[in-house]
Amino acid sequence: MSYFLLIILLPLTSSVEGQKEFPDNFKFGVSSSAYQIEGAWSEDGKGESIWDHLVHNHPEKIRDRSNGDVACDSYHLWHRDVEMLKELGVDTYRFSIAWTRIMPTGIGNQVNPKGVEYYNSLINALLANNITPYVVLYHWDLPQRLQEMGGWINRDTIGRFKEYARFAFETFGDRVKWWTTFNEPVQICRESYEQDAMAPGYDFPGIPCYLCAHNLLLAHAETVQLYRLHYQSSQGGKIGISLSSAWAQPRSDSADDREASEMNLQFIIGWFAHPIFSTNGNYPQIMIDRIGNFSAQQGFAKSRLPTFSADEIRQIKESSDFLGFNTYTSYMVHKLDEQNANIFPQPSFNHDSGVVEYPNTSWPETASSWFRVHPKGIYNLLTWIRREYDNPDVFVTENGYSDHGDMRDTNRVEYFKKYMDAVLDAVGEGCNVKGYFAWSLMDNFEWRGGIVERFGLYYVDFNHPNRTRTRKSSAKFYADVIKKRKIDMELMPEPDDYTPYSAAEAVSTRVKPVIIAAMIVYLYKLIY
């Protein structure tokens, strides 16, 4: 079916009245990632990741010059994290393993037992509290040593990742039954190599992002094959990948604008989903054609989009037991035409896609410049996935709202109400959505946004030495949804009481022991 026909079939504005209670087997969870919460960046044998390297060498690239050296200190405070999960009543907890905490250099000749102990303790505590671990092997934190060897541009990284994954399956797979290879490949490749938005922070448009994606898809497929051949039957688990996209809202109802929406979705979602979930496999034909044609016009000897062999296409196709999908926002799109043809470098991913993305200023803002609220977008995306890929099992593995740390976070609560309701509309339409994970368990280090942009259900006081966590209104609201398995549109709970840790208290905490010690010495001298 052509993408022109698909876009005609896509319901862009219709409203669907679906069931308003979540199915009995629907799973609720929350998500986090290692670098954003763990801290202890160089403690107990952990190696340096590309994010450690970026924040230490280029602190100016972080909005508030903060970093993840301590973050939420979950390496030491994971007991409290488990308590929070129990308070929420979630079925499952999605977290990532820090590759460098297990293998400090990313290479399997050196394994860090303290890192293994940390994840064993967390996994065991989750299971003891009837919370299912949902483990992501890679959430953006490549070992710096591997980056120095070329990172995801180097095909050797495929084997290194498989080596790491094999160790994880053998070490944790007796208890972990849900695995994700990669979180958000678009961010790993487009925002890290194409544009300086994520670590390692390269600005090299048009070539390395496609090499990165190609190697990452092969790493995913080879890792899934490894799991299926040697571990899945004995361990009884499932393995998949988490993709991401915003909804591409056509600027108008014109054929050109609707085609721009479809082109955008094929370049963003289809780039990784088409090789895995489509009937024929391989990259979307529109990517193959456009990048190949532009490459020829630009004087390249071959297409900048690498080519899979027939065997690789077969290996990648159907290499996921489920599709994890992350989405937060939507943006407007129209075609790149003669009037604005020069706004993007040539070559570049944006020029190849032929689409201009821009915010709709009528949609509500958040604390993140890239993020506006448009609940219908998540319904449209889930519906598009159902039609494009024959309705795979989907978990919404990330969805959440950013603010500046409000305890009574009414905007976040309203966001969850509307977005989860839109998920239910998609379920009512027949989408195989099996679960929903809120992002995130608590405020954390939000990448280039530092700790200014906060997505947490729990407030984290980053000034407090204990990184105190406190329930916001949204945590109580989400717990109510999980308990009742439906959305109370009228509910707006009050947050727990908490007085932020002040700078004066911090000084006092440090100074008091010094004063007491001085007084003891003074009294001792008076007496003796």
Residue 501 has pLDDT above 90, yes or no: no
pLDDT by residue (tens digit) across 116-154?
Answer: 999 999 999 999 999 999 999 999 999 999 999 999 999
Q: What is the 3-state secondary structure (H, E, C) of 254-265?
A: CHHHHHHHHHHH
CA distances for 314 relative to 184, 222, 304, 317, angstroms: 22, 11, 22, 5
Catalytic residue among 38, 48, 184, 388: 184
Strand 92-96 relative to strand 27-31: parallel, antiparallel, unpaired? Answer: parallel
87 is catalytic: no
Residue 379: name the closest of 351, 418, 337 by CA. 418
- pTM for this prediction: 0.92
Strand 433-439 relative to strand 394-398: parallel, antiparallel, unpaired? Answer: parallel
**Are the C-beta atoms of residues 273 and 391 closer than 8 Å to each other?**
no
pLDDT by residue (tens digit) across 440-465?
Answer: 999 999 999 999 999 999 999 999 99
Burial class (CB in 10 A: 0-12, 13-18, 19+), 366: buried
User: Is the residue at 504 inside a domain?
Assistant: no
Residue 348: name the closest of 334, 336, 332 by CA. 336
Amino acid type, 287 = M
Residue 13 has pLDDT above 90, yes or no: no
User: Is the residue at 425 inside a domain?
Assistant: yes
- Write phi, then psi, for 364 (nearest 5 degrees): -60, 140
Eight-state DSSP code of residue 266:
I
Catalytic residue among 48, 259, 312, 398: 398
Amino acid type, 408 = R
Element (H, E) at 364: none
398 is catalytic: yes
**Are the C-beta atoms of residues 194 and 348 closer than 8 Å to each other?**
yes
What average pLDDT does range 257-264 have in this prediction?
Answer: 98
Q: How many other CB atoms are there within 10 angstroms of residue 321's CB atom?
A: 18
Q: How far apart are CA 359 and CA 381, in angstroms?
A: 17
pLDDT by residue (tens digit) across 183-240?
Answer: 999 999 999 999 999 999 999 999 999 999 999 999 999 999 999 999 999 999 999 9
User: Is the residue at 516 inside a domain?
Assistant: no
Element (H, E) at 234: helix 232-235
pLDDT by residue (tens digit) across 333-377?
Answer: 999 998 888 899 999 999 999 999 999 999 999 999 999 999 999
User: Is the residue at 509 inside a domain?
Assistant: no
pLDDT by residue (tens digit) across 268-320?
Answer: 999 999 999 999 999 999 999 999 999 999 999 999 999 999 999 999 999 99
User: Is the residue at 505 inside a domain?
Assistant: no
Residue 5 has pLDDT above 90, yes or no: no
Measured N-to-C along each axis, helices 208-230 and 156-172 cross at an angle, to the nearest 10 degrees, of 40
Band of residue 500 on the pLDDT scale cut at 50, 70, 90: confident
pLDDT by residue (tens digit) across 47-93?
Answer: 999 999 999 999 999 999 999 999 999 999 999 999 999 999 999 99
User: Is the residue at 346 inside a domain?
Assistant: yes
Q: How far apart are CA 471 and CA 226, in angstroms?
A: 41
Domain that holds residue 70: 3-497
Q: How far apart are CA 404 and CA 8, in angstroms?
A: 40
Q: Identify any residues that bridge with 459 across adjacent strands, giving them in sequence order.
A: 470
What pLDDT is recorded for position 340? 84
Residue 475 makes CB contacts below 8 A (sequence gap 6+) with: 84, 87, 88, 457, 458, 495
Residue 480 makes CB contacts below 8 A (sequence gap 6+) with: 488, 491, 493
Mean pLDDT, the chain, as a whole number? Answer: 93
The enclosing domain of 475 has a CATH number of 3.20.20.80
What pLDDT is recorded for position 18? 38
Q: How many other CB atoms are there within 10 angstroms of residue 345's CB atom?
A: 14
Based on the structure, what is the number of domains in the chain? Answer: 1
User: Is the residue at 29 inside a domain?
Assistant: yes
User: Is the residue at 149 inside a domain?
Assistant: yes
